[in-house]
Structure 1
Amino acid sequence: MNNPLGIHALVFAGGTTTDEVDTITSGAHRAGYDIIEFSLHGLADLDTTATRAMLEDRGLTAICSRGLAPDADVSSDDLAVVQRGAELLHESLQATAAIGGIRLTGALYSAFGKAAAPLTGAGRRNVIAVLKDLAVEARRLDVVLGLEVCNRYETNVVNTAGEALRLADEIGEDNVDVHLDIYHMNIEEKNFRDPVLLLGDRLGYVHVGENDRGYLGSGHLDFDAFFDALREVDYRGGITFESFSSAVVSPTLSNDLSIWRNLWTDSDDLAAAAHRFLAERLARVPA
């Protein structure tokens, strides 16, 4: 396997000011990564021109991600709330394209956080309409949309690979694919192989993170089974390391993600260790 390897920006800095983007991109480049993933929850601070220049200078590909807030939830039954969410998604898509990003992914389909009730039929129809429109715009900008499969405590819309595949089919645009995250799979899926095989070439992006979001290999996740499944479907997309610690605080995301503990304090050491771990898994010959 020779997949491009990525790292989440929150390993290095909590925001997207120009100084923080410099820290993020220099750290990712130093550790040997190909991709940097930016969360777009701090859009107001992002200088897209400066960010694109730093990415190009350091030979990094950009991927962007985000979820939505309760007052901008495209899965709501309230059309005013849905409209605010749609506007935020289109703004995020424009920012992704402006920095040269190739993918906008995440919980694009709902507010991020534990829902108070199941998704309604009207809410689902709103999700499909908004994301179909977003996908049409994304195609013009040469950006792919990813539906990240998140656990039940973060969304009531998509919790399994099968649910994400169904939603992608209902959106019906060929630049919408599915994004698996082994951290969430550990909660919602029966194993790490079957969801990958179910998606096959509809799998467009992958997050890897330990069960406690700390150092890779320090927990109980069966990474060998997951990577063997990726190899089985000939997955060629990005594989991005995602880890969070209260050592690096995002003013908008740390509380949402329940980052209460210092799982690590040295960003460079964490990034280098993750790169070694991922490179070893790519080179591994299955038993």
Structure 2
Amino acid sequence: MNDLGVHALVWTGDWTPEGARTAAARSREAGYDLVEISLHDPELVDVKDTRQVLADHGLRVACSRGLSFDSDVSSDDPDTAARGEALLRQALRITHDLGGDYFGGVLYSALGKYGRPATARGREHAVRALRRLAAEADGLGVTLGLEVVNRYETNVVNTARQCLDLIDEIGADNVLVHLDTYHMNIEEQDFSRPVRACGDRLGYVHIGESHRGYLGSGTIDFPAFFHALADIGYQGPITFESFSSAVVAPGLSHDLAVWRNLWSEGPDLAAHARSYMAAQIKAAHARTAA
């Protein structure tokens, strides 16, 4: 019922043509349906080549990105916010040109630790930018996902409830919630209520362990999370996301504080994650059907 995806940073630190071929081949070998491409270096993406590589391996694509502080759509400075909006529009067009129908991530602020709370002026800049982005995305048949991340990576949206409130302000039907178990483990009270609160406004899921390593080797309550997904009838993508110093994308890895080697063998990690997620989905649906 769900496409199972894998983040490209499990395989490669960049999306050059060579990186694209490696990521696509290994994703298919591991049994995945979808690969998520981070557009943190959009100038490296060869759209025509990537489309062909994905088609050759029968893979769907989702795209994501974050913003830096000099292109923060939630900045009080309108010029800074405008730079961020331009980058989001560029990434949206790349997503569409690659054949994707989902573009998500931290689209509402910079990706990094803030030294102060978000301001009303900055939030309004973000809301207006995302309203315009949503209108453009709707014309392209693309859904936007606002990823809920922890307090050390944004000061705007840290919980599912805050994300739903922001989506209400934006007021566009094609803007949905993107939940990530790694971040939920830091910010949410449990792994069930946020999923149920989102309901049919949950559009994308990241599965990550508490330390971003092998699934099942940390503290995440995955049965509770997958049971909640089954309870709301979630049928969207479920994408495995893991980071290690074994595979480095300098800008993004530094933003995400990937300082240590949690794994060295991407193929083994990804195959384990694929089996683990499939087993959790099967168990959750069996319980729901009982």
Shorter-chain TM-score range: over 0.9
Unaligned runs of 5+ in 1: none
* Separation in 2, partners of 1:34, 1:102: 14
TM-score, normalising length: structure 2: 0.97
Equivalenced residue count is 286
After TM superposition, the structure 1 = structure 2 runs for residues 271-286 of structure 1, keeping only pairs within 5 Å, are: 271-284=270-283, 285-286=286-287
Q: Secondary structure at the match of 1:63?
A: strand
> What is the one-letter code of the residue matched to 1:90?
R
After TM superposition, the structure 1 = structure 2 runs for residues 85-124 of structure 1, keeping only pairs within 5 Å, are: 85-124=84-123
* Contact 1:61/1:102 (<8 A) preserved: no
Work out the percentage of aligned pairs sharing the same amino acid: 55
> What is the one-letter code of the residue matched to 1:95?
I
> What is the one-letter code of the residue matched to 1:60?
L
* Separation in 2, partners of 1:151, 1:251: 21
Q: Secondary structure at the match of 1:254?
A: helix
Residue 222 of structure 1 corresponds to 221
Residue 153 of structure 1 corresponds to 152
What's the offset of the Cα at 1:57? 1.4
> What is the one-letter code of the residue matched to 1:227?
F
What's the offset of the Cα at 1:56? 1.3
* Separation in 1, partners of 2:94, 2:29: 25
What's the offset of the Cα at 1:68? 0.4
* Separation in 2, partners of 1:101, 1:210: 26
What's the offset of the Cα at 1:102? 1.2
Dislocated runs of 4+, deviation >4 Å: none
What are the Cα deviations for residues 4-41 of structure 1, in whole angstroms up to 9, with x where unaligned? 10000000000010000100111101101011001000
> What is the one-letter code of the residue matched to 1:152?
R
Unaligned runs of 5+ in 2: none
What's the offset of the Cα at 1:101? 1.1
CA RMSD between the two structures: 0.8
Q: Secondary structure at the match of 2:5?
A: strand
What's the offset of the Cα at 1:133? 0.2
Residue 9 of structure 1 corresponds to 8
> What is the one-letter code of the residue matched to 1:65?
S
After TM superposition, the structure 1 = structure 2 runs for residues 231-270 of structure 1, keeping only pairs within 5 Å, are: 231-270=230-269
After TM superposition, the structure 1 = structure 2 runs for residues 117-136 of structure 1, keeping only pairs within 5 Å, are: 117-136=116-135
After TM superposition, the structure 1 = structure 2 runs for residues 16-27 of structure 1, keeping only pairs within 5 Å, are: 16-27=15-26
After TM superposition, the structure 1 = structure 2 runs for residues 24-103 of structure 1, keeping only pairs within 5 Å, are: 24-103=23-102
What are the Cα deviations for residues 93-152 of structure 1, in whole angstroms up to 9, with x where unaligned? 011111111111000000000011111001111011000000011011111000000000
Q: Secondary structure at the match of 2:21?
A: helix
Q: Secondary structure at the match of 1:131?
A: helix
Q: Secondary structure at the match of 1:255?
A: helix
